[in-house]
Amino acid sequence: MNAAADRTGKILVVDDETVNRKVLEGLLRSHGLECVSADSGPAALALLDQSIDLVLLDIMMPGMDGFLVARAIREIPRFTELPIIMVTALSAKEDRLRAVEVGANDFIAKPIDATELSVRVTSLLRMKHYHDEVKDYQQHLEQMVSEKTKALRDALMELERARLATERAHMETIRKLSAAAEYKDEDTASHIMRMSRYCAVIAEHAGLDSDSVELILNSSPMHDIGKMGIPDAILLKPGKLDAQEWEVMRRHTIMGANILGDSSAKCLETGAVIALTHHEKWDGSGYPQGLAGEDIPLFGRICAVADVFDALTTRRPYKQPLTNDQSIEIMAQGRGTHFDPRLFDVFVAQRQAIEAIQHEYRD
C-alpha cells in the first residue's frame, strides 16, 4: 500500500468469519494501518467512534447484514462522511445499487486482491484525510468568526456605553446651563424640571412618538436660557415692568435662540426653536415674531402651555403663587387665543399626571 494514505489510518474490519478478518487485518497492518475488528453488525456499531477512518464491511452476515450496518452508520450524524467499503461475493447489479443506496463508497469483491485493497483503501483514506482537513479548517474559521464577532460586539457595546456616557454628560451640561438662567431667582429652582416634564406629558398624550417626547423633555429646559442676557434689575424687579423694560425682557427669546442656534446637535437645535417661540400666541399676539396658529412650531406651542401653568402656580419676585384651580381657570380664558386649543385640552385631561409632577418637583 506504499503510502497507504497521507497519514496512518484506523480501519474497522467487520466480518463474521474469523479467517476473513485475520486476512484483512494482516494485509492492512503490513502497510502500517491500525485495525480493530468485529464479528457482527452490533459489535461493529459498538466499536464505532471518532478514531475510525474507514470501515471494511462484509455484506453476508447473519442477523444484521452489511446493508443494515451501513444504513445504521449513516444514520449517525457524525459518521455521514465516514468511508465504507463493502466486501462482497455478490456480483448482481441490484446488490451493488442497494449498497450505494445505503451509503457505501466503494466495493471489493471476494476473494480479496491485495493490490485492489491497497488502491481502494488508500484512495478513501486520502479522501477522508482531506475531508477532515476541510472540516477542521471550517471549524477554525467558525471559531475565528465567532471570536471576531464577539470582539466586534464587545467593541460596539463599549462604544454604546461611551456614547451613553457622553450623552448623559451632554444632557447634564444642558441642564446646568438651563438652570443657570433660572438660578438668579431662588423661587424658580425647580421650574425647568417641572416644565420639561409637563411638556413631555402633553407631547405624549397629543400623539407624538417616543423619540419626540424624549426630545422635548431634553430640549425644553433651555426655553429661558436667553434670560442670562437680561439685567438683574429687570429680571428680578418686584413690580411690573415698564414698556422699555418689557421690551428688554422680550429679547430673551431671541438671545436664547442665538445661544443655541447653529448647532449640529438635534437637542440644541430644538432648544433654539423652543426658546424663540414659547411666547408666541395662537392668535398671533405673542412675541418675538407674532406667529399664529400652526405657524408656531409644535414644540413651542406645547411649551407655552407648560410654561404659563408653572409661572402661575409658583412664587415669583413680583407675585404670589395661584392655586391650580385658579391657574387653569385663567388659562382657559386663553384657550384658542393664547394657547393651541387642542394642546390645552390635552393638558387639562392630564391634570392628575401634571399635579404628580408638580408635587415631586415642588420648590
> What are the grid coordinates assigned to 48, written together?
464505532
- Domain coordinates in residue numbering, the chain: 10-136, 183-360
The phi, psi pair for 138, rounded to 5°, reads -60, -45
DSSP 320: P
Of residues 211, 201, 187, 155, the one with CA closest to residue 305: 201
Q: Which residues of 92-112 are buried (b: 16+ CB within 10 A; e: fewer)?
A: eeeeeebbeebbbbbbbeeee
Sign of CA pseudo-dihedral 43, 46, 47, 50: positive
Please give the distance of CA 68 from its chain centroid, rounded to a whole number: 49
pLDDT of 52 reads 93
Q: Read off the pLDDT of residues 86-137 as tens digits, 9 standing for 90 and up.
A: 988 766 678 778 888 898 998 888 888 888 888 889 889 998 888 888 888 8
The CATH code that applies to domain 10-136 is 3.40.50.2300
CATH topology for 183-360? Hypothetical protein af1432 (1.10.3210)
Residue 142 has a CB neighbour count (10 Å cut-off) of: 10
> What are the grid coordinates assigned to 317, written together?
419676585
- Are 308 and 279 in contact by the 8 Å Cβ rule? The answer is no
pLDDT of 207 reads 96
Distance CA 299, CA 70 (A): 75
Distance CA 16, CA 18 (A): 6
pLDDT of 254 reads 95
Distance CA 47, CA 363 (A): 82
Q: Examine residue 317 and say whether the peptide bond preceding it is cis (omega within 30 degrees of 0).
A: no
DSSP H helical segments within the chain, as ranges? 18-29, 41-47, 66-74, 93-102, 114-182, 191-205, 210-219, 232-235, 243-260, 266-277, 298-313, 324-332, 341-349, 351-360
Distance CA 83, CA 103 (A): 9
Q: What is the pLDDT along the chain (363 residues), one digit of tens a residue?
A: 443 334 568 999 999 999 999 999 999 998 889 999 999 999 999 999 999 999 999 998 999 999 999 999 999 998 988 999 998 876 667 877 888 889 899 888 888 888 888 888 988 999 888 888 888 888 889 899 989 888 888 888 888 888 778 777 766 776 666 666 666 555 455 888 899 999 999 999 999 999 999 999 999 988 988 888 888 888 878 888 899 999 999 999 999 999 888 877 888 899 999 999 999 999 999 999 999 999 999 999 999 999 999 999 988 767 789 999 999 999 999 999 999 999 999 999 999 999 999 999 887
